[in-house]
């Protein structure tokens, strides 16, 4: 079959189950339609570090994808193309490849001109980045520079604007439910509060959906500040009416205490998108719960079993939905390529596949609508108005 052109595909940001099936879907369809497919390694870093010399060894930066390669990888989790949080528009001097250090000498550099030259060097007719709002915000920049971009949304937090669903979310919810139920045995054995910290920097979908599914009694989300006295009273009531004398609480990593503006961070170091690594709110909630427990438990202290799920919910193979949705997203992307349409984000809205302008990625924040979905008095989801709601109930609409 005659070569219709060349498509580049990359994965950026955190790894999630479902990335390899998406890469497979794009590649299989593209090869069938007569396209060559180049896999860019390590997200935007691969497009930054290419040496534009036919004799140079660029094997660490890109690979030509074949059906055999993607069929083997498509059954696995993570991303075989690897990933990074590189941001070419804000690249620290220390992260510059050796061959660019004489050209870019500022502390932070915009190397987009090099990325554009590297896209031309590879002969890419279309670029398909798979990532969250950080990765895709730079994809929008390339779109504005004239690159033909078709984006695929991916993130455990499910917070990419413009789509109700992002690759990785279903597996995250599935694992959170499974692991929370496993931890119940220890919490019940010791008659404790069980506090579990889960992903969710700005949006609480990964705490609210598992709670709605019965994994927890209460959940704390970034969209509503934590009142510890309210929480301690509710959690103690939950524990004391449970025959096994324990209660379960899910805490989004981005949740904050009332009258405290800053999230809980592990360190002061920020990535190239300005994000510091989150972690520790679960520890602080657990400590405060134990401290307040005698007030609501007849003077007796209740101990806490405290666990951060972290990478346990993003490692391993994808669940059924994160095997099927990436297949559909990849084919949607190829539909756009075949039409010659770019500057779009493939999406799901109200249970149906669609596409939206890529500008939606940076145009708004996707967070939980508190009035529709969260009971602030009970610190739990609202169980009402399910008629005609989409599969995952909560959309990005306001």
In-domain check, residue 296: yes
In-domain check, residue 181: yes
Q: Same domain, yes or no, for 277 and 325?
A: no
Q: Same domain, yes or no, for 76 and 33?
A: yes
DSSP state of 372: H
In-domain check, residue 88: yes
pLDDT recorded at residue 252:
97
- pLDDT tens digits, residue range 93-122? 999 999 999 999 999 999 999 999 999 999
Q: Same domain, yes or no, for 258 and 322?
A: no
Q: Same domain, yes or no, for 26 and 146?
A: yes
- pLDDT tens digits, residue range 300-322? 999 999 999 999 999 999 999 99
The candidate with the shortest Cα–Cα distance to 280, out of 204, 195, 218, 368, is 195
DSSP letters of 83-103? -----GGGEEGGGS-GGGTTT
Question: What's the number of domains the chain is made of?
Answer: 2
What lies within 8 Å, CB to CB, of 336 at 6+ separation is 150, 342, 344, 346, 355
Q: Same domain, yes or no, for 197 and 266?
A: yes
In-domain check, residue 397: no
Domain residues for the domain of 58 are 5-167+316-363
Q: Same domain, yes or no, for 42 and 31?
A: yes
**Set 133, 134, 157, 217: catalytic member:** 157
pLDDT recorded at residue 398:
45
pLDDT recorded at residue 382:
92
Strand ranges (E), the chain: 5-11, 35-40, 62-64, 91-92, 108-109, 126-131, 150-153, 193-198, 218-220, 247-252, 265-270, 276-278, 304-308, 344-349, 352-357, 374-375, 380-381
**352, 325 Cβ separation under 8 angstroms:** no
Q: Same domain, yes or no, for 153 and 202?
A: no
Q: Same domain, yes or no, for 270 and 348?
A: no
In-domain check, residue 358: yes
DSSP letters of 15-83? --TTHHHHHHHHHHHHHHTTEEEEEETTTHHHHHH----TTS--TTTEEE--HHHHHHHTTSSS-TT--
To the query of whether residue 157 is one of the catalytic residues in this protein, the response is yes
CATH number of domain containing 244: 3.40.50.460
Q: Same domain, yes or no, for 250 and 269?
A: yes
Q: Same domain, yes or no, for 294 and 184?
A: yes
Residue ranges of the chain with pLDDT lower than 50? 398
Q: Same domain, yes or no, for 216 and 76?
A: no
143 sits in which H/E element: helix 133-144
In-domain check, residue 393: no
Q: Same domain, yes or no, for 218 and 297?
A: yes
CATH number of domain containing 326: 3.40.50.450
In-domain check, residue 178: yes
In-domain check, residue 356: yes
CA torsion sign for 66, 149, 164, 196 is positive
Strands 304-308 and 193-198: parallel
């Amino acid at each position: 079959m005659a070569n219709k052109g060349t498509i580049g595909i990359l994965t950026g940001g955190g790894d999630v189950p479902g990335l390899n099936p998406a890469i497979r879907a794009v590649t299989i369809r593209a090869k069938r339609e007569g396209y060559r497919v180049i896999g860019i390694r390590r997200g935007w870093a691969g497009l930054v570090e290419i040496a534009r010399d036919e004799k140079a060894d660029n094997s660490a930066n890109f690979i030509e994808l074949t059906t055999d390669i993607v069929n083997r990888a498509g059954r696995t989790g993570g991303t075989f193309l690897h990933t990074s949080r590189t941001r070419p528009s804000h690249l620290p001097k220390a992260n510059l490849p050796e061959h660019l250090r004489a050209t870019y000498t500022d502390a932070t550099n915009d190397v987009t001109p090099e990325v554009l030259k590297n896209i031309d060097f590879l002969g890419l007719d279309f670029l398909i980045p798979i990532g969250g709002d950080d990765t895709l915000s730079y994809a929008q920049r390339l779109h504005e520079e004239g690159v033909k971009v078709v984006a695929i949304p991916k993130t455990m937090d499910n917070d990419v604007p413009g789509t109700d669903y992002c690759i990785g979310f279903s597996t995250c919810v599935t694992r959170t439910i499974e692991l929370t139920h496993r931890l119940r045995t220890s919490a019940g054995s010791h008659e404790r509060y069980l506090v579990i910290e889960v992903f969710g920097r700005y949006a609480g979908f990964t705490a609210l959906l598992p709670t709605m599914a019965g994994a927890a009694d209460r959940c704390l989300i970034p969209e509503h500040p934590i009142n510890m006295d309210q929480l301690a009273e509710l959690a103690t009531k939950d524990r004391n009416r449970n025959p096994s004398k324990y209660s379960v609480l899910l805490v989004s990593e981005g949740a904050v205490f009332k009258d405290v503006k800053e999230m809980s961070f592990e360190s002061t170091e920020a990535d190239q998108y300005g994000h510091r690594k989150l972690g520790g709110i679960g520890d602080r909630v657990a400590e405060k719960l134990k401290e307040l427990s005698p007030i609501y438990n007849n003077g007796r202290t209740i101990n806490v079993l405290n666990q951060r799920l972290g990478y346990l919910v993003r490692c391993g193979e994808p669940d059924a939905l994160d095997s099927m949705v990436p297949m559909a997203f990849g084919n949607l992307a190829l539909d756009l390529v075949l039409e010659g349409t770019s500057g779009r984000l493939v999406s799901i809205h109200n249970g149906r596949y669609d596409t939206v302008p890529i500008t939606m990625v940076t145009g708004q924040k996707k967070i939980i609508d508190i009035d529709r979905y969260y009971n602030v008095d009970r610190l739990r989801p609202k169980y009402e108005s399910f008629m005609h709601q989409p599969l995952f109930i909560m959309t990005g609409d306001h």
